[in-house]
Structure 1
Amino acid sequence: MDPLPPLRLLATFETVTRLGSMREAAARLNVTLPAVSQTLKALEEHAGADLFDRSTRPARLTDAGEILSRATREGLGQIAAALEDIRAMHGQEDRHVTLACTLGMATYWLMPRLPDFYAHHPEITVNVQAPPSDLPNLAPGIDIAVRYGTGGWREGRTHKLFDERVYPVGTPALIARLQAEGIGLDEARLIHVRSPHNQHWAGWEDYLRQSGITRTRLSGQSFNNYVQAAQAVLDGRGLMLGWRSISTRAVMDGALQAWPDATLDLGTAYFVTTASRLSNSAQCFLDWLTEQGDKEHQAQTDGTACAPHPA
């Protein structure tokens, strides 16, 4: 048997592990779900081991699957880097940059700031991908990944973008009513962001535990991404956890209000992970992104609001 399976098997496997869903991988690859399943089975036969634990929903990678996932990501990444080098050698350096981050980060922090980048670099196009996972991978074709957590990622090069703070937010009218009625965080209606793909973000359980607040019930509406949850909050349905970097603009505009004296440092931050080799365009964008992160860090240090300014 050939030690290497057909490249299409590895490419399908990488897409499934990156997106965290066979169904979404099928849509991305423009094939049927059974075709993806058959491809993965063929790869498992070639490897001689199960790559997925199908007793869980969604299916999770086995230890063997984790090993192959890392190797595939790194191998395809090296191929992408080699092609980038070849294009650069022939004067065809790509003027596109592809960045992966969460939907909330893209919607509320990055996109409002991009006009400033385009004002200074109109020749560069930034493609933003928001995968379902709350921990975007530095997958083949991704130049830069912005991730939230405590760091410690091994692939590529990683540095801290800025520290993060978290606090409850709600509409001013809702917070005023709760306070007038003497209802605190131990009783207020909560809105949650919960999903099998969102396991690295702190939830209300973490916040209340570290704040020393005891609740008998944590029930409330749940959404699978931050943007949907934020809309429910704007509709006055309850309180949600707001991350300072992505809630600042709504607070400054008066659409949302932070619960008084409730900001908490969970020891987390946003990090930037990049491929080992970046094109000039990607490096230019990384420099700009780092500058924006420095401004955010300075604003949090000074205790002032940091929001994008018009270009």
Structure 2
Amino acid sequence: MVTDNLTHLAAFAAVARHRSFRRAGAELALSTSAVSYAIRALEERLGVGLFHRTTRSVALTEAGQRLLERLQPALHQVHDALEEMNHFRAAPAGLLRVNATRAAVPTQLGPRLARFLHAHPDVRLELAQDDGLVDIVARGFDAGVRLHEFVPEDMVAVPLGPSLRGLIVATPAYLAARGVPQHPQELVAHECVRFRFASGHLYKWQFERDGKALDIDVPGRLTLDEQSTILQAVLDDLGLAYVLEDAARPHLDSGRLQAVLEDWSPPFAGFVLYYPRQRQMSSALRAFVDMLRDSA
């Protein structure tokens, strides 16, 4: 009975994190039907519904939310106790779940993943790409990857690479037709490809020179939420865009794109991997952090 209760509660917590029976099953190495059975058994035992289910979504009921809030500290303690045993193993093992902003994956995080997995064959890694500001603890992730400025103060942050720079880029054809802006304020007369965060708000383009900072709410008919699609829109002559220099560099070197207002674009702190300061580190996360620090 105790084992069944723990299994059912683990299934409940996984479904609550993922809002999906299928993804919860993948995390727990169980079939979707087994997860569904565990949730039904728990609901029958408690006499309350824990989830609202439709063909398209899964959401916690009020009772389910209350149960999750009460369970999370205990589940974290169980998780930490089990992970502590991994320190007695000869090699890191287990599941490492990382939530990363999509812009960091191609140039900063992705190139390290193959080396890490080859070095640690007993580790399974799950990477979720998400541009929103995610509560990694509530969502069941071991670590996150974001720009340093967006990392909560109570997290440990490990740099993934050097500082970054954002650049305003456009095609030579666009600039020949519309002119080259000489000051950020001149962008209001241009067509700009805008970026919207997952939170819903639009990014204001940021500039700084000689200690003077400017935030420009640029105009534009096209708004996108992912850097690679923004770059493609610029390559299609749809306007100017603010992108990371690393992503634009191949196109700048080939001459397909041209940077403007470079003297208004100083470097800033780059991407970091971050994790909770108070939580017991899993052996897999410790190995990943050690790799990042060794390669810094």
Q: TM-score range by the shorter chain?
A: 0.5 to 0.7
Alignment partner, residue 214 of structure 2: 211
- Secondary structure at the aligned position of 2:238 is classed as coil
Letter in 2 for 1:9: F
Note closer, same or farther for the CA distance 1:279–1:247 as it changes in structure 2 (3 Å cut).
Answer: farther
Letter in 2 for 1:178: R
Matched, 1:104 2:103: yes
Alignment partner, residue 81 of structure 2: 82
Which shifted more, 169-178 or 260-269?
A: 260-269
Alignment partner, residue 168 of structure 2: 168
- Aligned partners of 2:205 and 2:216 also within 8 Å: no
Note closer, same or farther for the CA distance 1:187–1:96 as it changes in structure 2 (3 Å cut).
Answer: same
TM-score normalised to the size of structure 2?
0.61
Q: How many residues align?
A: 259
Note closer, same or farther for the CA distance 1:74–1:271 as it changes in structure 2 (3 Å cut).
Answer: farther
Alignment partner, residue 28 of structure 1: 23
Note closer, same or farther for the CA distance 1:73–1:88 as it changes in structure 2 (3 Å cut).
Answer: same
Matched, 1:11 2:6: no
Note closer, same or farther for the CA distance 1:101–1:180 as it changes in structure 2 (3 Å cut).
Answer: closer
- Secondary structure at the aligned position of 2:119 is classed as coil
Letter in 2 for 1:132: D
Deviation at 1:186, TM superposition (A): 1.6
- Aligned partners of 1:14 and 1:73 also within 8 Å: no
Letter in 1 for 2:229: Q
- Secondary structure at the aligned position of 2:290 is classed as helix
- Aligned partners of 1:168 and 1:262 also within 8 Å: no
Alignment partner, residue 152 of structure 2: 152
1:32-71 aligned at under 5 Å gives the runs none
- Aligned partners of 1:108 and 1:247 also within 8 Å: no
* Percent of paired sites with the same residue: 19
Query: Which one has a larger percent strand, Structure 1 or Structure 2?
Result: 2
1:117-128 aligned at under 5 Å gives the runs 117=115, 122-124=118-120, 127=125
- Aligned partners of 1:14 and 1:69 also within 8 Å: no
Distance 1:206 1:181 in 2: 14
Alignment partner, residue 234 of structure 1: 235
Deviation at 1:214, TM superposition (A): 7.0
- Aligned partners of 2:92 and 2:287 also within 8 Å: no
Task: Name the larger-Rg structure.
Answer: 2
Letter in 2 for 1:186: V
Listed one character per residue, the Cα deviations across residues 120-154 of structure 1 (whole Å, up to 9, x for unaligned) are: x8323673513434234434764431122343343
Deviation at 1:221, TM superposition (A): 1.5
Deviation at 1:94, TM superposition (A): 0.9
Alignment partner, residue 130 of structure 2: 132
Note closer, same or farther for the CA distance 1:206–1:181 as it changes in structure 2 (3 Å cut).
Answer: closer
User: Unmatched 5+ residue regions in structure 2?
Assistant: 26-31
Deviation at 1:28, TM superposition (A): 2.4
Listed one character per residue, the Cα deviations across residues 91-134 of structure 1 (whole Å, up to 9, x for unaligned) are: 5631765432112211243224556x45xx83236735134342
- Aligned partners of 1:109 and 1:245 also within 8 Å: no
| RMSD after superposition | 4.9
Distance 2:120 2:22 in 1: 28
Distance 1:71 1:271 in 2: 31
Letter in 2 for 1:193: F
Note closer, same or farther for the CA distance 1:212–1:144 as it changes in structure 2 (3 Å cut).
Answer: closer
